[in-house]
Amino acid sequence: MPNCPYCFKKFGRISSLQNHSAYCSIIHQGKYAAENSELEMDIPPIRDIYIVLQKLVKENNSLKDKVSELEKLSKREKKQICLIDWLNHNRTPTLDFKMWYNKWQVTRNDFHNVLSTNTLSGVMAILRNNLECRNNDIPMCAFDQKLKTIFIYTNSEWRIIERNEFYKCIDSIIFKLGKQFNQWMHKNEKELINNSEQMHLYTKKLYNMEIEELSRRIHLRLYNHIKYNLKNIVEYQFSF
């Protein structure tokens, strides 16, 4: 098997050896000239120079691509920050998430709003009313940078809300709406005795959807309602 006379690398084909040795000879002579600069080196044939030039251009383009990728990665790493870390450093609500939603008031008007629309719209209206004051004291937020994800502040730190926690939050609203329903029935007891169909209609209106399904639909609507683009505030690319 033929080998390069300069670096002794072996080749299976003569053509591969010729191309390599043309390049290797110039590299070898260059190193030798650097050590023995007073000596004049022979100028290699044009064909060998062309082979070396082709190889150098190809390697140069490859290096450019790698450098470009490394620069992008470097910039991304320098600017990258975790959303939860950002929240923990920049927002400290005074109320825990569970304490916050347990304090929500559900009124008779909220109940009548459900009857005039539907449970989904009525619950969303209650949520919007409690989110009107958007400031650092609200223990819930969402961002464009994290699709369909809601963060809550609980146990003195921010984290992504779990599915069951969100179910409980929505269930607490339904429970309070149910109290308003009971009060309404007690107030209109005589009228309802002769109109059981109306009572059945209102009951179906309020409890027409399973909590899991209701919560799933509300989660997306709520995310779209409270999300904002943090890049408008700080110039970061976020890790998730």
Check whether residue 128 and residue 50 sit in a common domain. no
Last-in-domain residue among 79, 96, 127: 79
Is 3 among the domain residues?
Answer: no
How many residues in total does the chain contain? 240
Check whether residue 69 and residue 91 sit in a common domain. no
Check whether residue 127 and residue 74 sit in a common domain. no
Is 1 among the domain residues?
Answer: no
pLDDT of 58 reads 81
Check whether residue 39 and residue 131 sit in a common domain. no
pLDDT of 37 reads 47
Beta-carbon-side half-sphere exposure of residue 103 (alpha carbons within 13 Å): 10
pLDDT of 150 reads 95
pLDDT of 32 reads 46
pLDDT of 64 reads 83
Check whether residue 24 and residue 99 sit in a common domain. no
Check whether residue 215 and residue 154 sit in a common domain. yes
Model confidence over 34-58: pLDDT tens digits? 454 445 556 666 766 667 777 777 8
Beta pairing class for 237-239 and 80-82: parallel
Show Cβ contacts of residue 40 under 8 Å, excluding neighbours closer than 6 positions: none
Last-in-domain residue among 79, 103, 123: 79
Contact 134, 65 (CB under 8 A): no
Is 108 among the domain residues?
Answer: yes
Check whether residue 99 and residue 28 sit in a common domain. no
pLDDT of 42 reads 62
Check whether residue 213 and residue 157 sit in a common domain. yes
pLDDT of 135 reads 59
Check whether residue 65 and residue 122 sit in a common domain. no
Is 4 among the domain residues?
Answer: no
Is 6 among the domain residues?
Answer: no
pLDDT of 107 reads 93
In the 3-class helix/strand/coil scheme, how is 162-195 assigned residue by residue? CHHHHHHHHHHHHHHHHHHHHHHHHHCHHHHHCC
Query: For every one of its 240 residues, what pLDDT tens digit does the chain have, with 9 covering 90 and above?
Result: 667 776 767 766 666 666 666 667 766 665 444 454 445 556 666 766 667 777 777 888 888 888 887 776 665 544 556 889 889 998 999 899 999 999 999 999 999 999 888 999 999 999 999 887 555 689 999 998 888 999 999 999 999 999 999 999 999 999 999 999 888 888 887 777 677 777 777 788 788 888 899 999 999 999 999 998 776 666 555 555
Contact 215, 167 (CB under 8 A): yes
Residue 102 domain boundaries: 81-239
114 exposure class (CB count in 10 Å sphere: 0-12, 13-18, 19+): buried
Last-in-domain residue among 42, 60, 79: 79
Instruction: Please give the helix or strand (H or E) that residue 24 lies within, else none.
Output: helix 14-35
Contact 90, 157 (CB under 8 A): no
How many domains does one find in the chain?
Answer: 2
Check whether residue 109 and residue 40 sit in a common domain. no
Check whether residue 97 and residue 150 sit in a common domain. yes
Is 8 among the domain residues?
Answer: no
Is 9 among the domain residues?
Answer: no
Check whether residue 170 and residue 230 sit in a common domain. yes
Is 64 among the domain residues?
Answer: yes
